[in-house]
Each structure stands twice: as C-alpha cells, then as structure tokens.
Structure 1
Amino acid sequence: MERYVDGFVIPIPNDKLDAYREMADEAGKLWIEHGALEYFEGVGDDMEPDMDGMPMMTFPQLAETGDNETVVFSFIVFESRDHRDEVNAKVMEDPAMDPDSFDEEMPFDTERMSYGGFRSIVNYEAPTGGIESATPGEK
C-alpha cells in the first residue's frame, strides 16, 4: 500500500513544551478519530549526533532554534494522499478545531513551523512474522 505522510518540524520554546504536549495529545486523538493511521510527536533528544565526521545539517540548524528552544518532529500517516485530504477535511470541520474553542494561545510560532506532504517511495513495516516491503510495486 502506498502510504502518505504529513510531516512537521517545529521549534518549541522549552517553557512551552508541556503546553505543546497537551495540545498535541488532543490533536493526535482527533486525527486518529477521523481516520489517520498513525500520529507521532517526538521532542529532540540526540540533536548533535556523531556521524563519524560526515557533514550534515542538524534539526536545530534546520529549525533555527534559539538557546531556549527545542525541536519537535511530527508526522501523521495516511493510506494515500486522497485519504489524507479526506481526513484533514474532517478534522478541520470538527468543532474542536474552532479557534474560539482554544483555551490558550498556540505554544509555538506557527510562521516558523515547517510542513509538507510526502508520497511514499520506500516503506517497510514489521509484521509479526518478520520484515515485509510495503514499497509501491514491491512484493
């Protein structure tokens, strides 16, 4: 099955991480309720990995985090792009997404959030019996 993924990289002020976690918890429940296959939010932990001298950009560099910020990497998995569009439309129509229903302001600067939709080109899933390819066209 060709999966589709919405991905996010978000710089979060350290003092707003708990508020972000609460917001993300509610968002995850909402996306799953409306049909997403998986919802993941991860906070930066090993942000300066030793890659044996290989030059690369780190997530903090990519997100241009400040001294009092961390990076959150998030993704939502869907069956396909059409499925993503259907689920996201349902989420956006949900009363829980009404800005007037939010108790607090966003715990991050939305203009600094990176977002994109990704079509699967390689996808492996681990079923109970071992590794199988879920890459489109592979058997």
Structure 2
Amino acid sequence: MTRTSKNHQNESRNSSTGHYVDGFVFAVPKKNLKAYRAMSHKVGKITREHGALDYKECVGDDLNTKWGIPFPRKMKLKPNETVIFSYIVYKSRAHRDRINAKVMNDPRLANMDSKSMPFDMKRMVHGGFKILVSL
C-alpha cells in the first residue's frame, strides 16, 4: 500500500469519527410515494441547508429475504404498502440536536401536520445512532 493510499484511508476513517446518524423506517402506501417524495425532498433540502452532512430516502426493492426478519413482516405491511428507509448524517449528536431545532422552527415547514403525512406516523421507527464502523 502506498503512503498516499494509507493517508487517504486514514482520512476516510477519521472523517467519520464522531459522526451521528438519525435512522428512520416507514410503511408508505404505494399510491402515496409521489407525495412522500415531494415531502421528503422539501424536508431534506431544508435539513441540508441547516447543516446536515447527508440526507437519503430509500424505497424498498428486495424486501422478502430468506434470512432474518423481512421488513414487510416486521412492519406489518399491507399489500398496497412499501418500506422507506431513510437516514440523515450529522457531525455529532449535539450537531444533530442543533439542526433539528432549526428544522422544527423553519417557517417553510410550519404547515406540515402529522395528520396530513403520506404515511402512518404511528408506525414510524426512529432512532439516533453513533457510528460503530466506517470503512
């Protein structure tokens, strides 16, 4: 391994040190995917403007795996639903807390109501995570 590639590897590892991730899983009716995409695009753009390092929204594609507990079973998906897995990356938990406070107070999101969401908020799974391994 060259010195340059070793330095690049160390920089890659060190760049994630202390990063913090919010992870989410949602059950979304397939007919609401267009509305969900529009909503998440708006929220993601605002979240990034306030300083989040990364924002991803992923829709289920290969969900009925033969090992572990498949998402459809765990999420109790109805036949017309799919799974959204999303995550937001921050510098640290404190950074996440500051950004979330700004996002929650952003006037562009003032009209968002949990009753008007394109998914069932009661079935949302969410948590904050410290990075354990980053390659």
TM-score (norm 2): 0.82
1:113 aligns with 2:129: no
Partners in 2 of 1:116 and 1:61 — Cα distance? Answer: 20
Counterpart-to-counterpart distance in 1, 2:76 and 2:39: 22
Tell me which protein shows more helix as a share of its residues. Answer: 2
- Residue of structure 2 in register with 1:128 after alignment: none
Whether 1:47 aligns to 2:63 is: yes
1:56 aligns with 2:72: no
Matched, 1:31 2:47: yes
Provide TM-score, normalisation by structure 1.
Answer: 0.80
Following TM superposition, the consecutive aligned residue runs of length 4 or more in structure 1 with deviations greater than 4 angstroms are: none
SS at match of 2:118: coil
Q: Percent identity?
A: 48
Pair 1:18 & 2:29 matched: no
- Runs of at least 5 residues in structure 2 that lack an aligned partner in the other structure: 1-16
Aligned length: 118
Q: Structure 1: which amino acid aligns with 2:81?
A: E
**Superposition RMSD in Å:** 1.5
Alignment correspondent of 1:133? none
Alignment partner, residue 94 of structure 2: 82
SS at match of 2:85: strand
- Corresponding residue to 1:92 among 104, 113, 135: 104
The secondary structure found in structure 1 opposite 2:97 is: helix
Q: Matched residues in 1 for 2:123 and 2:41: separation? A: 21
